[in-house]
Amino acid sequence: MLKGKNIVLGVTGGIAVYKACDIVSRLKKLEANVDVIMTKSAMEFVKPQTFQALSQNMVVTDMFETPRYWDIEHISLAQKADILLIAPATANIIGKVANGIADDILSTTIMASTAKVVFAPAMNTRMYENEIVQRNIIKLKSLGYEFINPGAGRLACGDIGAGKLAEPVDIVEYINKLQTVKSDLNGKKVLITAGPTVEKIDPVRFISNRSTGKMGYALAEAASKRGAEVTLISGPTNLSPPANVNLISVSSALEMYKAVLEDFESQHIVIKTAAVSDYRPQTINDQKVKKKDGDMSISLVRNPDILLELGKIKGDKVLVGFAAETNNVIEYAKDKVKRKNLDFIVANNVAEKDAGFGTDTNIVKFIDKHDNINEIDKALKQEIADKILDKTKEFIIK
Ligand code: C5P
């Protein structure tokens, strides 16, 4: 899968630089084209000539050297790269990228590229566990950068703990898989609903909920990256729609219902992350409701349960629901899978810390129509999105 792919390997300073030589030779064996960029401190460990011989390409080390070809090198490699792999990645390069610093050829190339960037960190355990480094990693992950976790063991500095560069064989396998995974939903049409619905009371007031749309938008982005043709039907959110996704903006549950039904027939996979309001005010006042003496009440009527309706006309499509609960999560989820005729449901306890509405992470369980339960550890919504898409593949029939 890596044959003919352009891998730009950024090598930063650390004793593990010697292992990057092995990464280059393994990538070359898979017939990838490898361009190496070295930072100044990386060159303190291994000379550029070694990487030059292994990659059979000139090694880039300096932003201001005379270009060997007439293009601006940091832009040309940034554009050429299918994947940018930083291995070993120091706390320094992670910190620079996380904070928008582009002061050498490697950080500039990363900044100027739209390719997937993968970091394989290697550093002293205490540095790796430092809150600042960890926050930088979380920030970068939430922006779509990927990390190959370092291993634990005896480090070059004598410390024992996490921080050892992952094995070159595993790093190359990860990069190889990235290319394979990228297109596993090619040709599939995926419909995702996201965000809250807004039910108007009058021109200035409404009933809504705490959904921010993060989970649904992460799913739309992940499905699109994996090659799917994605339609995202979203209630009001503050999020920018992912690239290459067909966004349909709606406001109320009735609008969402209409938009979903219009698009449903042609889909292969439908995932309903939206937090749809179960009720709407019976009447929407044209004018602002004025206060009067005494109490007031608003009469609410039921909204259609969109997912329940879709379950009735499901056919061969994969149908996935979400269940946000504060108690009896599994029990309620199992009931919904049956009642709404779903393939599986993604259930979370919204009362739990780091899960549910507005958070970057989620803690979920998949409960499928065969009563299988998969417990997914706390992870970023982007990572959960990929796991949900992996699970949908179990149910694709056409
Ligand atoms: O029954 P409950 O509202 O908890 O079910 C949640 C699932 O049903 C979510 O996938 C949500 O998008 C969907 N739903 C819907 N229409 C409603 C209410 C919920 O599609 N009116």
3-class SS letters over 345-387: EEEEECCCCCCCCCCCEEEEEEEECCCCEEEEEEEEHHHHHHH
305 lines ligand 1 (CB under 6 A): yes
**CA–CA gap between residue 109 and residue 84 (Å, rounded):** 9
Report how many helices (DSSP H) and strands (DSSP E) the chain contains, helices first: 13, 19
Instruction: Write the CB contacts of 209 (distance below 8 Å, at least 6 apart in sequence).
Output: 196, 275, 277, 357
Please answer whether residues 195 and 255 qualify as being in contact, where contact means their C-beta atoms are separated by less than 8 angstroms. no
Residue 145: per-residue pLDDT: 93
Residue 354: per-residue pLDDT: 82
Confidence (pTM): 0.68
53, 72, 132, 157: which is the annotated catalytic residue? 157
Q: What is the DSSP track for 209-225?
A: -S--SHHHHHHHHHHHH
Domains and CATH numbers, the chain: 6-178 (3.40.50.1950), 189-393 (3.40.50.10300)
Strand, helix or coil for residue 24: helix
- Pick from 79, 153, 166: which is nearest to 118 by CA? 166
Number of neighbouring beta carbons within 10 Å of residue 48 = 17
333 lines ligand 1 (CB under 6 A): no
Number of neighbouring beta carbons within 10 Å of residue 90 = 22
Strand, helix or coil for residue 322: strand
**CA–CA gap between residue 293 and residue 242 (Å, rounded):** 48
Q: What contacts 24+ positions apart, CB below 8 Å, involve 38-44?
A: 38/11, 38/106, 39/10, 39/11, 39/12, 39/13, 39/93, 39/104, 39/106, 40/13, 40/104, 41/12, 41/13, 41/14, 41/90, 42/11, 42/12, 42/13, 42/14, 42/17, 44/13
Token readout for 43 is: 């060159």
325 lines ligand 1 (CB under 6 A): no
**CA–CA gap between residue 197 and residue 233 (Å, rounded):** 11
Residue 319: per-residue pLDDT: 98
- Pick from 242, 388, 233, 249: which is nearest to 319 by CA? 388
260 lines ligand 1 (CB under 6 A): no
Please answer whether residues 125 and 163 qualify as being in contact, where contact means their C-beta atoms are separated by less than 8 angstroms. yes
Pocket test for ligand 1, best of 192, 207, 272, 349 (most atoms within 8 A of CB): 272
User: Which residue blocks in the chain are alpha helix, DSSP H?
Assistant: 17-29, 48-55, 73-80, 91-98, 105-111, 125-129, 131-142, 168-181, 214-225, 253-264, 306-312, 329-339, 381-392
Rounded to 5 degrees, φ, ψ at 193 are -105, 145
Q: Which residue has the tokens 């040309």?
A: 76
**CA–CA gap between residue 16 and residue 48 (Å, rounded):** 15
- Pick from 185, 145, 178: which is nearest to 380 by CA? 145
Q: Which atom of ligand 1 is nearest to the CA of 320?
A: 10
Q: Which residue has the tokens 């803690």?
A: 363
Q: Which atom of ligand 1 is nearest to the CA of 278?
A: 21
| Residue 157: active-site member | yes
Tens-digit pLDDT string for the chain (398 aa): 788 899 999 999 999 999 999 999 999 999 999 999 999 999 999 999 999 999 999 999 976 665 555 455 557 899 889 999 999 999 999 999 999 999 999 999 999 998 999 999 999 999 999 999 999 999 999 888 999 999 988 777 777 888 999 999 999 999 998 876 667 898 999 999 999 999 999 999 999 999 999 999 999 999 998 999 999 999 999 998 888 899 999 999 999 999 999 999 999 999 999 999 999 999 999 999 999 999 999 999 999 999 999 999 999 999 999 998 888 999 999 999 999 999 999 998 888 888 778 788 889 999 999 999 999 988 989 889 999 999 999 999 75
Residue 199: per-residue pLDDT: 98
Q: Whose CA is nearest to atom 17 of ligand 1?
A: 305
Please answer whether residues 176 and 2 qualify as being in contact, where contact means their C-beta atoms are separated by less than 8 angstroms. yes
Instruction: Write the CB contacts of 135 (distance below 8 Å, at least 6 apart in sequence).
Output: none
274 lines ligand 1 (CB under 6 A): yes
- Pick from 60, 47, 40: which is nearest to 20 by CA? 47
